[in-house]
């Protein structure tokens, strides 16, 4: 008696696709996502964004210090945003800083 396995003999009508089909679709999607930056190009040319010789250079900035915060949160990732919101809801004067200038941390 021969037993056919759905993964080895293809999918049956109305049955889920299976692990192989899922992995093939995932790998195809990740390969397309990896190729996307090469297809669209850089948003700014390398000399304009300060990248020369494999080193990123940013202009020096001087920021004035203010004594107007009870809580300072460094890092605007998920945990930093949650900490800043929690402190502000508790009534503290809160400042949130991130070196990238936007929310999200490593998620953006």
Q: Residue 93: which pLDDT band, with cuts at 50, 70 and 90?
A: very high
Sign of CA dihedral 81, 86, 90, 92: negative
- Structure token pair of residue 48: 């304009």
Q: Are 94 and 70 in contact (CB under 8 A)?
A: yes
CA-to-CA separations, 28 to 23, 31, 86, in angstroms, rounded: 8, 5, 41
DSSP 77: S
- Structure token pair of residue 80: 């930093």
Which pLDDT tens digit goes with each residue over 55-74? 777 778 887 877 889 999 99
Global pTM reads 0.42
Instruction: Provide the mean pLDDT of the chain.
Output: 74
- Domains of the chain, residue spans: 17-60, 62-107
Place of tokens 């299976």: 18
Mark out the alpha helices in the chain (DSSP H runs): 19-40, 78-89
- Distance linking the first and last C-alpha atoms of the chain: 55
């Amino acid at each position: 008696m021969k037993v056919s396995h759905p993964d080895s003999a293809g999918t049956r009508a109305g049955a889920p696709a299976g692990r192989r089909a899922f992995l093939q679709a995932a790998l195809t999607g990740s390969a397309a996502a990896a190729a996307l930056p090469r297809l669209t190009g850089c948003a700014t040319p390398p000399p304009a964004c300060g990248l020369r010789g494999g080193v990123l250079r940013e202009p020096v900035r001087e920021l004035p210090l203010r004594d107007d915060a009870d809580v300072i949160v460094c890092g605007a990732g998920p945990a930093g945003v949650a900490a800043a919101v929690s402190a502000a809801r508790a009534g503290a004067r809160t400042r949130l800083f991130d070196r990238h200038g936007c929310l999200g941390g490593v998620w953006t």
